[in-house]
Structure 1
Amino acid sequence: MAKPHLNLKVVHHILKYVNKIDDFGLLYASGQYYNNRGFTDASWAACPKTQRSTERYCFIMTGATITRQSKR
């Protein structure tokens, strides 16, 4: 069975997190441009000892990291 695409899993994780924090919020002024970015990376079997892969991602909204993860 094919592994789900990493980006969809990340989006689902962010939405679950935002749904839990109803007493917090992010306030943005209207009419401004925001530089929101997301990065993903994978190194397949890069570890010479274990031949294991590493996956990582990071999402940034208006200059602040909102979620990140790295796992082997």
Structure 2
Amino acid sequence: MSNNLSQILKLSIPERILLVEAIWDSIVKENDQKNTYQLSDDQINFLEEEIAAYGKDPEQGSTWEEIKNRIKNKR
């Protein structure tokens, strides 16, 4: 690795920036591939039911502000 590093350090600044961008992109891509998560059929069904219930009565439920306040008040 030290041999590679010495070669990298000989690159111009624009070349090193391009290299860093390429490395960063590869990290993001690899991370995205490893962290994919598939919902189970039960989870999908639950979410579909919740969406349908919301569609029938959007006023039912709580706002984000109400939820935060309930959590804060439990402490």
- TM above 0.5: no
State TM-score, norm by structure 2. Answer: 0.29
If asked which structure has higher relative contact order (CA below 8 Å, sep 6+), I would say: 1
Greater helix percent: which structure? 2
